[in-house]
């Protein structure tokens, strides 16, 4: 997966090529725009009002004048109650990539399999920690293959970085598949940042009691719709967390991890309402997208749908490529996530659409029909 350049002496090769990054416009522009953002995967019901009030109160009280609690005592105690695990089973940090990197740097260099299609941060975290990275490619339908199936395709590894659900595939990780990885690997990381935003998906964090080689990474950003305030954490056996903590620089723990700690447990009803909404909205979104000419969808089990735009020779459509479709949608006030350059996807026809409120989703479907089919 190396994509380096040796032109500058002393600079090492990059672990992998970075896909095109969808850059958010500056704050002063965002406040004047009316774009509807379907490129993110945060909770479509938004941030709980209690979170916003708590953050406003903390800022007004001068909390920015103090360094954060690098041990995140409040949040870790809440997580312990929520998951029924010891406080020592949790390590708090900022982004999911930060947490995956914390795990990867703990272990001796080995061959790490990363699930693809998937975020480039998996390969970066493992490769930059000195591991050799190989891709575990999903077959048609993008259901995660077990280690034996990967071996039959010539892919072998000592450790793995997986996701539940996967992004952008929107598929949940079957429990038997994870158990097979735990039997075959020295260590396994499972990214569960969006597990609360799925069709009946269950967290694997309870397995850490019996499996010391399992680390589950979760986040407050997706379920509580606050990607601008990264708060993530590792859940693992206390002995495993103690090993990771020896190598982890906890300076990235944000101040709001303290402020929102208790609220993360109190606002579980917000997540229950979200699940009830998504139980009907995810299937509706898949159905409506599949009815748009030229768009093929892949089965979705989370609050985003991976699609492919195929301008076949027999179709008279208003756009000829995903690139053109994304540009036309942006002009119409909608942002979608192009997947060109995403590890595991070989051409530029793929894109991902988040599931938002019904009103927003209807607007996007109408715009797609107008742009593609002129109706």
Which architecture, in CATH terms, is 11-46+269-373?
A: Alpha-Beta Complex (3.90)
Residue 22 has what pLDDT?
57
Residue 363 or 315, more confident: 363
Q: State the average pLDDT over residues 280-287.
A: 98
The predicted pLDDT at position 341 comes to: 84
Domain with CATH 3.40.640.10 in the chain: 65-266
> Which H or E run contains 364?
helix 358-368
322-331 vs 358-368: helix crossing angle, rounded to 10: 120
Please state, in angstroms and rounded to a whole number, the distance separating the CA atoms of residues 164 and 115: 11
- Specify the pTM: 0.92
Q: Looking at the predicted structure, is the pLDDT value of residue 154 above 60?
A: yes
CA dihedral in degrees (192, 38, 335, 125; nearest 10)?
0
List, for residues 187-237, the tens digit of each pLDDT value: 999 999 999 999 999 999 999 999 999 999 999 999 999 999 999 999 999
pLDDT at 252: 85
Percent with pLDDT over 90 in the chain: 75
Question: pLDDT-derived band of residue 30, with 50, 70 and 90 as boundaries?
Answer: low
CA distance 288 to 48: 28
Mind listing the pLDDT tens digit for each residue in 61-89? 998 888 888 999 999 999 999 999 999 99
Chain segment 189-198, per-residue pLDDT in tens: 999 999 999 9
Tell me how far apart the alpha carbons of residues 118 and 344 are, in angstroms, rounded to a whole number: 7
Q: Could you tell me whether strands 188-191 and 214-219 are parallel, antiparallel, or unpaired per DSSP bridges?
A: parallel
* Residue 70 near residue 253 (C-beta atoms within 8 A): yes
User: What is the band of 10 on the pLDDT scale with cuts at 50, 70, 90?
Assistant: confident
- Report whether pLDDT(4) > 70: no
Domain boundaries for CATH 3.90.1150.10 within the chain = 11-46+269-373
- Is residue 251 within 8 A of residue 172, CB to CB? The reply is no
Q: Which residue has the tokens 């941030």?
A: 47
pLDDT band at 19 (very low <50, low <70, confident <90, very high): low
According to the model, what pLDDT value does residue 140 have?
67
Would you place residue 29 in the very low, low, confident or very high pLDDT band (cuts 50, 70, 90)? Answer: low
CATH fold for domain 65-266: 3.40.640
Site of tokens 């690098």: 70
pLDDT higher than threshold 60 for residue 342: yes
Return mean pLDDT, the chain: 91
| Close Cβ partners of 375 (under 8 Å, ≥ 6 residues apart) | 369
Name the least confident of 107-111, 140-144, 339-343: 140-144
What's the mean pLDDT in 321-330? Answer: 94
């Amino acid at each position: 997966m190396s994509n380096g350049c040796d032109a500058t002496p002393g600079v090492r090769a990059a672990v992998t090529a970075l896909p095109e990054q969808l850059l958010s416009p500056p704050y002063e522009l965002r406040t004047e725009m009316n774009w509807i953002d379907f490129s993110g995967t945060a909770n479509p019901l938004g941030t709980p009002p209690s979170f916003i009030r708590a953050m406003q109160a903390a800022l007004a009280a001068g909390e920015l004048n103090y360094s954060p609690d690098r041990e995140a005592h409040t949040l870790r105690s809440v997580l312990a109650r929520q998951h029924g695990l010891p406080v020592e089973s949790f390590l708090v940090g900022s982004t999911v990539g930060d947490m995956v990197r914390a795990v990867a740097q703990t272990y001796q260099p080995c061959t790490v399999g990363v699930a693809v299609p998937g975020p480039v941060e998996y390969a970066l975290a493992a490769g930059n920690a000195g591991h050799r990275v190989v891709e575990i490619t999903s077959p048609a339908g993008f259901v995660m293959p077990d280690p034996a199936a990967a071996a039959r395709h010539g892919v072998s590894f000592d450790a793995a970085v997986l996701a539940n659900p996967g992004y952008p595939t929107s598929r949940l990780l079957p429990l038997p598949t994870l158990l097979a990885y735990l039997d075959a690997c020295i260590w396994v990381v499972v990214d569960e940042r969006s597990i609360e935003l799925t069709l009946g998906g269950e967290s694997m964090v309870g397995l850490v009691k019996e499996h010391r080689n399992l680390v589950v990474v979760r986040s407050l950003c997706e379920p509580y719709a606050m990607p601008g305030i990264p708060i993530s954490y590792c859940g693992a056996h206390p002995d495993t967390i103690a090993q990771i903590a020896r190598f982890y620089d906890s300076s990235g723990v944000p101040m709001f991890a303290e402020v929102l700690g208790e609220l993360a447990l109190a606002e579980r009803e917000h997540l229950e309402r979200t699940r009830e909404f998504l139980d009907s909205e995810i299937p509706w979104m898949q159905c409506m997208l599949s009815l748009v000419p030229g768009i093929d969808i892949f089965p979705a089990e989370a609050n985003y749908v991976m699609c492919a735009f195929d301008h076949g020779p027999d179709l008279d459509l208003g756009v000829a490529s995903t690139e053109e479709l994304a540009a036309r949608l942006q002009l119409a006030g909608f942002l979608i996530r192009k997947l060109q350059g995403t590890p595991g996807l070989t051409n530029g026809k793929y894109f991902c659409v988040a599931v938002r409120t019904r009103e927003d989703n209807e607007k996007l479907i109408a715009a797609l029909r107008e742009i593609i089919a002129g109706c």
